[in-house]
């Protein structure tokens, strides 16, 4: 009997702790959702219970967002920036990762670590000189400046990620191709790349999410509304004077968060093994 | 549709073809674009930042006049800057500590199988996955001076009275607490994932052997598992430190450095001086105060990467 009580207590405290964590992490997102669906009189009435609808839920904030603000434009900007950065990153990181994994031996190892360390150089150290460089290229206040600058952290990250993947791939595949008459480069393009599609997909997803998450460079380089990516637009552009449009801001934040959240959950394990450089075997 | 494979025509071999069939040459060619990109847009700006910090460069007067360490001297003698420096260390240390504690605790919970664990894990990842700028805005709304849901709950529970409801982002100490909590909230899922990855990689037979030898829960945890997962935890912590120490977005969006500089951190200060005020040289000098910490961190990182290879 005593034992049963102790067991129940332990179970209750375990699930209580789990519930604490779930509430802690999920509440801000629940708050985004409920705020974005509430009507303004409901939102700005302190006597209402804030956790649920006191008046009928409404889509007016979403409508306002798409019709009265540049939200759709920001979505499009983010998409364009993301796609361009993905292309640049793959073009540079795929060959680099392969070369560092297979062709450059000990120097390659050191070079790989060197490239990865540049991922740790923070934007707040580089944004001043980069903003001058961007200005001298005539790209200030244009989203193309972000296309130019974002690969500085996506290339190191993806090179490292792909290097780990290529190292784990059996060498025999390329050797067989070379014996069959492929050139070295041919073996890479025709044999290795098609077999690396899962790794390439991971690199694409993470490059894209990294561009969506970035805030500092976007804030530094871009001030005109039509050129902003979605994260910057939602966070800084939905304030009119001193008035925050909370319903619209939360609706925008929610829409922009969902794809990133899904992508992370699908590719989390690969991200971790990439970031820890295969410390987990 | 049947396609007939064309017979491979023997192309006239280009003169340099044989070069590309050498491992070292092709290797160098393949790695060059990435290295060039990084050198041009990380290496060059870094050198530029070094030079700006010892020049009199501003947006309005882009002169390259060399002024030596004058910028640094002026900055150090500014009490507001010293406060910023202190804030940065407090912000980094407190949020990483809180994040690590929450992370370790959360990882212990998620190690045990229970129904719905996958879903719980997916939810717990959210703060780290979602762009921090957007999450910060949600927190700003939760800390709102008038409509704060936190205050509403405390008033409803009778903990405080409406008249004494705290103004979270308006009080210097509370504002610091807020940015620390939001940053810890953002990083602890990452810590959980790192801990989990490390713990699940510890071979079960080692744990079993320890159990047979009479090691209890705490002993297993702190004398067997912790030392074994230390390298991977260290790598995770290094990422956390670098990204927190140099952060700008949480502070910028939540408090804008205020009230009266109480939450100003290095990254934010560099942005204010260098971009907003256009005083590039002083801004660069402020940002460079991050370098010593980054150096220490990079050296630590290199050591842990080496240790992993042994």
Task: List, for residues B142-151, the tens digit of each pLDDT value.
Answer: 988 888 888 8
Walking along chain A (281 residues) 10 residues at a time, the average pLDDT comes out as 85 91 92 88 78 83 87 93 95 92 79 83 89 90 93 91 85 84 84 86 89 91 91 84 79 89 80 58 37
Q: ipTM of the assembly?
A: 0.87
**Cβ-defined contact of B308 to A277 (cutoff 8 Å):** yes
**Cβ-defined contact of A275 to B37 (cutoff 8 Å):** no
A51 and A94 in a common domain = no
For residue A244, the domain's CATH number is 1.10.3720.10
pLDDT score of A281: 37
A270 and A220 in a common domain = yes
Question: CA A261 to CA A271: how far, in whole Å?
Answer: 13
Q: In sequence order, which residues have a C-beta less than 8 Å from that of residue B158 and are 6 or more positions away?
A: none
Structural domains of chain B in order of their starting residue, each with its CATH number: 82-309 (1.10.3720.10)
A185 and A69 in a common domain = yes
Q: Is A139 a domain residue? A: yes
Residue B262 contacts A, CB cutoff 8 Å: no
Question: CA A255 to CA A233: how far, in whole Å?
Answer: 13
Residue B186 and residue B102 in contact, taking contact as beta carbons nearer than 8 Å: no
Residue of chain B whose alpha carbon sits nearest to that of A212: B131
Task: List, for residues B178-195, the tens digit of each pLDDT value.
Answer: 999 999 999 999 999 888
| Angstroms from B286 CA to nearest CA on chain A | 9
A199 and A145 in a common domain = yes
A75 and A38 in a common domain = no
Domain of residue A212 covers 62-275
Task: List, for residues B7-37, the tens digit of each pLDDT value.
Answer: 555 555 556 666 677 777 888 888 889 999 9
| Surface of B (264-303) touching A: CB under 8 A | 266-267, 270-271, 274-275, 280, 283-284, 287-288, 290-291, 294, 297-298, 301-302
pTM of the model: 0.87
Minimum-distance CB partner of B42 among A91, A118, A280: A118
């Amino acid at each position: 009997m005593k034992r049963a009580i102790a067991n129940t207590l332990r179970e209750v405290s375990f699930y209580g702790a789990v519930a604490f964590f779930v509430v802690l992490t999920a509440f801000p997102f629940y708050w985004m959702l409920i705020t974005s669906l509430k009507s303004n009189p409901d939102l700005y009435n302190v006597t209402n219970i804030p956790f649920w609808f006191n008046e009928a839920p409404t889509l007016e904030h979403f409508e306002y967002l798409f019709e009265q603000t540049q939200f759709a434009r920001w979505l499009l900007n983010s998409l364009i920036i993301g796609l361009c950065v993905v292309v640049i990153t793959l073009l540079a990181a795929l060959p680099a990762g392969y070369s560092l994994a297979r062709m450059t031996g000990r120097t390659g190892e050191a070079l790989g670590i060197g490239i990865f360390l540049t991922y740790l150089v923070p934007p707040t150290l580089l944004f001043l000189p980069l903003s001058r460089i961007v200005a001298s290229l005539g790209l200030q206040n244009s989203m193309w400046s972000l296309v130019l600058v974002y690969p500085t952290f996506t290339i190191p990250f993806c090179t490292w990620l792909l290097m780990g993947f290529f190292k784990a791939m059996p060498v025999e595949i390329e050797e067989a191709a070379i014996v069959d008459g492929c050139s070295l480069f041919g073996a890479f393009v025709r044999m290795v790349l098609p077999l690396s599609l899962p790794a390439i997909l991971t690199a694409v997803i993470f490059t894209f999410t990294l561009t969506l998450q970035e805030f500092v460079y976007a804030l530094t380089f871009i001030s005109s509304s039509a050129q902003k990516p979605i994260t910057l637009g939602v966070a800084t552009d939905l304030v009119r004077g001193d008035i925050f449009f909370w319903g619209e801001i939360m609706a925008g934040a929610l829409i922009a968060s969902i794809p990133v959240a899904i992508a992370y959950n699908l590719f989390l394990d690969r991200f971790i093994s990439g970031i820890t450089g295969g410390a987990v075997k | 549709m049947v396609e007939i494979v064309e017979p491979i025509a023997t192309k006239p071999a280009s003169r340099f073809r044989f070069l590309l069939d050498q491992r070292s040459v092709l290797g160098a060619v393949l790695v060059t674009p990435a290295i060039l990109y990084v050198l041009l847009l990380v290496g060059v700006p870094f050198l530029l930042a070094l030079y700006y910090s010892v020049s009199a460069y501003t947006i309005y007067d882009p002169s390259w006049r060399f002024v030596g360490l004058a910028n640094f001297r002026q900055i150090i003698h500014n009490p507001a800057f010293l406060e910023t420096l202190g804030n940065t260390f407090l912000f980094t240390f407190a949020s990483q500590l809180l994040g690590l504690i929450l992370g370790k605790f959360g990882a212990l919970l998620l190690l045990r199988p229970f129904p719905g664990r996958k879903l719980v894990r997916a939810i717990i990842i959210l703060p780290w996955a979602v762009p921090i700028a957007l999450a910060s805005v949600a927190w700003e709304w939760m800390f709102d001076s008038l409509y704060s849901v936190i205050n509403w709950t405390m008033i409803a529970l009778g903990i405080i009275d409406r008249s004494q409801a705290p103004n979270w982002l308006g009080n210097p100490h509370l504002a610091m607490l807020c940015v620390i909590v939001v940053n810890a909230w953002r990083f602890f899922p990452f810590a959980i994932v790192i801990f989990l990855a490390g713990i699940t990689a510890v071979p079960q037979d080692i744990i079993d052997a320890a159990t047979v030898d009479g090691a209890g829960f705490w002993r297993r945890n702190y004398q067997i598992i912790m030392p074994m997962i230390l390298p991977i935890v260290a790598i995770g912590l290094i990422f956390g430190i670098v990204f927190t120490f140099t952060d700008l977005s949480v502070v910028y969006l939540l408090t804008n450095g205020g009230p009266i500089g109480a939450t100003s951190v290095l990254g934010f200060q560099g942005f204010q001086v260098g971009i907003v005020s256009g005083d590039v040289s002083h801004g660069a000098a402020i940002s460079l105060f991050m370098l010593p910490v980054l150096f220490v961190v990079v050296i630590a990182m290199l050591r842990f990467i080496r240790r992993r290879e042994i």
